[in-house]
Each structure stands twice: as C-alpha cells, then as structure tokens.
Amino acid sequence: MHATIDQNHSPWILECAEGTPATALLGPCRADVVVVGGGLTGLSTAWHLSERFPERRIVVLEAHAVGNGASGRNGGQILNWINGASDDDPERIQRIHAVTRRGIDLGESLAAACGVKEAFSREGCLEVYTSAKRAEHAAERVEQLSKLDIPLEWIAADRLGFKGAYGAVADPLAGRLNSLALLHAMKKVLLARGVAVHENSAVTRIDEGREIRVSTHGGEVRAATLVLATNGYTPLLGRFRHGLLPMQARNVATEPLDEALWNELGWAGRLGFSDDFDRIAYGCRTAAGRVVFGGGGNFAYAYPYGGKLLPDASDRREERYYTAVEARLRHYFPGLPQRLIKHRWSGVLGVTLDRVCTMGIGGEHGNVLHALGYSGHGLALALLAGCVLTDLYADNHAPWRDLPFYQRRLLPIPPEPLRWTGYQVYTRLTGRSPRRG
Ligand SMILES: Cc1cc2nc3c(=O)[nH]c(=O)nc-3n(C[C@H](O)[C@H](O)[C@H](O)COP(=O)(O)OP(=O)(O)OC[C@H]3O[C@@H](n4cnc5c(N)ncnc54)[C@H](O)[C@@H]3O)c2cc1C
C-alpha cells in the first residue's frame, strides 16, 4: 500500500526545510510588475527584476504555494539543451549549450545565495541507449561534440547497471536540483528584499491595458507590466490556448534506500538518467537516497479532454497507470523491491507541438512578458527565463534574438474535440518510438 500518498505531493517536500506560508493578497494594490505563478519561471523573474530594479515594486501571485506546479513535482534533473531544438550548425550548437549551461549554473548559484547549497548537485546525468544502432549513433555524436568543446563522455554498458542498456552519454555539467527546496528559500529572500509574494492567491481575471488589472478572489493588482509564469496552466487563464497542450506526467518514488541496496542496484554513479524513447523514462537519486522515477510509456502521461486536471494519485481510476510506471522502474532495476516504492504523484507540463518553448513580450499594449512550453525539460530553462524576461523588460533584446525560444510563435494545436482525438491517435502510434534527434 502507498501509505505516504498525501494529496498528490512529491517527496521533494520531505527534503525541504519547513517554510512559513506567505499571506494571500487582500485588497487592491499597485505595482510596477505583477508576476503570475510561483514556480521557477515566476520566482527567477522576480529575483532578477528585483536585483536589477530594486526601486520597482514587484508582486508575485501564486494560486496555492510556491512550487505547486511542475517546479515542485519534477524528476529533478537539471539538463543542458533545449527540447525540440536540434541543429547541425556548430556555432548554434555551442550557443544553445552555453545558454542552457548558464541556466544550470544559475541553479547552483541561486541555491548557494539562498543558503540551500544541498538542493543542487552537479554529479552529471546520463542518456541511456537501449538499441545497438542508437547507441552507435550516440557514441559518434559524443565524438563530434567533443570537437566543439562540449564535454560529454560515452559510458559502456558494462559500467552502467541498467538492464537492457547498450551504453549511455554522460553530461558532467548537468545535475540534480530539488527545485522545491530552492523555491522555498528564494521566497524567503524575495520577501526580505521587499518583493510581495502572495500565496493562496489564484488569479481569476486579467484585464489588459496600458495599466493591467489582475484580480484574485481577495484583491486586485494594477501594474504596468504582467509576467505570465504559469506554464501548463496558462490556457486556463485564456492565454496561449492555441499552442500549448497541458499534459500531465505521473511519477513514483521510493523511500530512502540504504547504501547496501544502492550498491546492489549497481546504478552507475547514481546519476540522473533518461532513456531514448519518445515517452522517456527518467529518474534520479535524491539527496536523501530516494529514487524519483517517471515516464516510460503512454501510461505515464495524460491529456484529459479539455485540459482538465487528473484525479488525485490515490484515486482508484489512476491505479493501473501508476502500477505500469512502477513496473517500468523495476524493469530497469529488477533488484528494487516493490514494497520500497512509497510515493505517487502527477504534475502539469506545458507541451508545444514541436516541443520548443517560447519566451517573449507581447499583449495588446506590449506589456505582457511570458516564458512557457518547456515540454518537460524546463528546470534550467525556467531559471534562465528570469534573465531573459528581465532583459526584455529592460528593452535589451540583443542577447537573446538568435535563440530558438526568442519571441517564438507557437505552432497551432487544433481545438477540441480534434485535440483530444489527435492526442490519442498520435500517442498510440508512437508510444514506444525512439526519441528524435
Ligand atoms: C512530472 C514532471 C517531471 C519533470 N521532470 C523534469 C526534469 O527532470 N528535468 C527538467 O528539466 N524538467 C522537468 N520537468 C519540467 C519542469 O518541471 C518544468 O518545465 C518547470 O518546472 C516549469 O516551471 P514554471 O515555473 O514555468 O511552471 P510551474 O512550475 O508549473 O509553475 C506555474 C505556477 O503557476 C501557478 N498558477 C497556475 N494558475 C495560476 C493562477 N490562475 N493564479 C496564480 N498562480 C497560478 C501554479 O500553481 C504553479 O505554481 C518535469 C515536469 C513534470 C510535471
């Protein structure tokens, strides 16, 4: 039985210092910038804005508690590259690698600045290959990228400990982030800086204008600039409906495993990993020694009709899906006893048709900033978004113009009922297909 399932929370919360909830927004107020969403995108943007413009009044509105979204429920791997953006041009490859590396470095420096160094670790992450042909290609790519000074390492199957693997690419610059612990710590620093962070303050309405009016049940903020930092939830606010698919991902985790069991599992270096399928399986070892695992097939992902939220992980209707995720975890690590798997939860992803995210500025009056659509690969990018959006706010577009996410117009996804039907057909046809690029 899953004794610790509690209202769909991830076990990252068990590895965070206890925090004090911020007050809800009550009554009207004015601000220079209002940020909607208290995940990595929202708090990183508030962080960089408040550093660069200490005199401006910044308000953050979070529907529940910071990290309620994907930022508090993810697989914990902070990775290089931009999902969906493959390129053959050596300079562009280096450029994309450099900016995403900056996002990872930001995870490290923010954790240190907020006094939660242990929330970040740069142990490296693996991309595991499960066919001889794909492994051969991947090993060649490691060679090519090393000529561009991108330091990857090919790890042979016998050093891996993954059942069915033909080898893996290790990225030593990638790592693990307990982003919930980071967000709790960032919230504290932001409040001390004078940023007004309000939790339990769901935005119910946005009226655009030269002055934007953002309403919650308890209050209202009037601000010159709005930051949409609601990723997969954004269509519920009536924005980016055409281009963003709010998909949900199911995850499981074990209780902390002892060293003897970790040794028995033989999981190489205990690094985070993902496999080479389109519906990737991914996992990592938390600081306390838990295995966090997700993906592995269609059963791990869902798009409920109309973008509704999934039932709670403890709901009977969800049982078979979580059982399948657990079976996938034990497929890779048959030595892991089922009884040690103790947590189940889901989180909302913002997925775009080509899986590339968008960061930019728009709206009827050119005062709405957004960063969203990371398609399940967002820890480094959501942190980076804070730098990007702060530059765009300062009208400094030059550093970002050449990047695939800059002012990217999302490809349209058909509305319902075609959307739901298309999702079912596409996923059934491609459920076990290898990852592209
Ligand atoms: C199961 C899972 C595993 C993942 N694993 C990885 C991984 O290993 N590596 C990786 O790089 N990425 C991973 N991701 C993706 C990554 O977590 C996200 O891309 C990233 O956290 C997005 O951050 P965000 O701040 O933009 O969005 P979110 O974290 O979703 O934050 C949006 C916030 O907006 C709030 N909100 C929504 N509506 C309103 C409203 N009306 N008013 C006020 N607030 C509102 C929500 O409560 C939420 O807190 C994973 C995602 C999931 C779901």
**10 alpha carbon to ligand 1 midpoint, in Å?**
13
Distance CA(431)–CA(425), nearest Å, equals 10
Which pLDDT band holds residue 7 (cuts at 50, 70, 90)? low
Q: Is 177 in the pocket of ligand 1 (CB under 6 A)?
A: no
Tokens at residue 161, please? 């400990």
Measured CA distances, 184 to 39, 40, 128, 198 (Å): 10, 11, 32, 13
What's the pLDDT at 1? 36
Q: Is 232 in the pocket of ligand 1 (CB under 6 A)?
A: yes
Give, for ligand 1, the residue of 68, 220, 299 to mutate: max count of ligand atoms closer than 8 Å to Cβ. Answer: 68
DSSP 411: P
Give, for ligand 1, the residue of 121, 123, 233 to mutate: max count of ligand atoms closer than 8 Å to Cβ. Answer: 233
Segment 79-132, tens digit of pLDDT: 999 999 988 899 999 999 999 999 999 999 999 999 999 999 999 999 999 999
Give, for ligand 1, the residue of 74, 101, 200 to mutate: max count of ligand atoms closer than 8 Å to Cβ. Answer: 74
Q: Is 69 in the pocket of ligand 1 (CB under 6 A)?
A: yes
What's the pLDDT at 437? 58
Q: Are 62 and 19 in contact (CB under 8 A)?
A: no
Tokens at residue 33, please? 């910038």
Helices vs strands, H then E, count in the chain: 8, 20
- Return mean pLDDT, the chain: 94
Q: Is 226 in the pocket of ligand 1 (CB under 6 A)?
A: no
What's the pLDDT at 385? 98
- CA dihedral sign, ordered 290, 273, 178, 59: negative
* Helix (H/G/I), strand (E/B), else coil: 216: strand
pTM of the model: 0.97
End-to-end CA distance of the chain: 40
Q: Is 45 in the pocket of ligand 1 (CB under 6 A)?
A: no
Q: Which atom of ligand 1 is nearest to the CA of 346?
A: 1
Segment 241-295, tens digit of pLDDT: 999 999 999 999 999 999 999 988 887 667 899 999 989 999 999 999 999 999 9
Distance CA(154)–CA(144), nearest Å, equals 12
**383 alpha carbon to ligand 1 midpoint, in Å?**
11
Distance CA(177)–CA(97), nearest Å, equals 19
DSSP H or E segment with residue 262: helix 259-265
Q: Is 174 in the pocket of ligand 1 (CB under 6 A)?
A: no
**121 alpha carbon to ligand 1 midpoint, in Å?**
20
* Cα 108–Cα 112–Cα 117 angle in degrees, nearest 5: 80
Q: Is 376 in the pocket of ligand 1 (CB under 6 A)?
A: yes
Write the Ramachandran bin of 404: left for phi over 0, alpha for psi from -120 to 50, otherwise beta: alpha
**23 alpha carbon to ligand 1 midpoint, in Å?**
21
Distance of CA 289 to the CA centre of its chain: 21
Question: Which whole number is the average pLDDT over 289-311?
Answer: 94
Segment 337-379, tens digit of pLDDT: 999 999 999 999 999 999 999 999 999 999 999 999 999 999 9
**412 alpha carbon to ligand 1 midpoint, in Å?**
21
Q: Are 228 and 369 in contact (CB under 8 A)?
A: yes
What's the pLDDT at 268? 64
Q: Are 384 and 99 in contact (CB under 8 A)?
A: yes
Q: Is 375 in the pocket of ligand 1 (CB under 6 A)?
A: no
Question: What residue type is 374 in one-letter code?
Answer: Y
**Neighbouring residues of 293: CB distance < 8 A, sequence distance ≥ 6:** 75, 251, 252, 253, 281, 282, 283, 325, 328, 329
Q: Is 181 in the pocket of ligand 1 (CB under 6 A)?
A: no
Distance CA(125)–CA(402), nearest Å, equals 27
What's the pLDDT at 21? 95
Question: Which whole number is the average pLDDT over 290-310?
Answer: 94
